Amino acid sequence: MCAVAFISVLRTRHDVYNIASGQAVTIAEMIERIRDLVPGAQLSVGPGPYRHGDRVEMIRKGALDVSRAATELGWVPHYDMRSGLAEYVRELRNSAR
């Protein structure tokens, strides 16, 4: 949310910036990390192509290119996927109290 608010007040050259770690992970790797962080989570990845809705087949692995955000906004990732998910889960647990 901070990145959206930040960009909305700047006069930027582009409308779209990838705000990500720049590291590629598969959906299966992400599910494995979530299972590590949330014991008992029942998640799985089935065989076949990954699809968004019924129409768009998604690639299995690929990192978002963050070079535009780095160059134009000074973006530097502070989290990799594992530490970002860990922080997110920690915040969810804290907000549920």
Instruction: Say how many CA atoms lie within 13 Å of 65 toward its Cβ.
Output: 4
Mean pLDDT value of segment 75-90: 91
Q: Can you give the three-state secondary structure of the chain, one letter per residue?
A: CHHHHHHHHCCCCCCCCCCCCCCCCCHHHHHHHHHHHCCCCCCCCCCCCEEECCCEEECCCCCCCCHHHHHHHCCCCCCCHHHHHHHHHHHHHHHCC
Rounded-to-integer distance, Cα 45 and Cα 31, Å: 8
How much is the pLDDT for 47?
78
How much is the pLDDT for 9?
58
The dihedrals phi and psi of 94, each to the nearest 5 degrees, come to -65, -40
Residue 82 has pLDDT above 70, yes or no: yes
Residue 94 has pLDDT above 90, yes or no: yes
**Percent with pLDDT over 70 in the chain:** 84
Q: What is the pLDDT of residues 17-57, one digit of tens each?
A: 888 888 888 888 889 999 999 999 998 887 777 777 777 77
The whole-chain average pLDDT of the chain stands at 81
Instruction: Tell the residue number behind the tokens 């019924």, with chain if given.
Output: 54
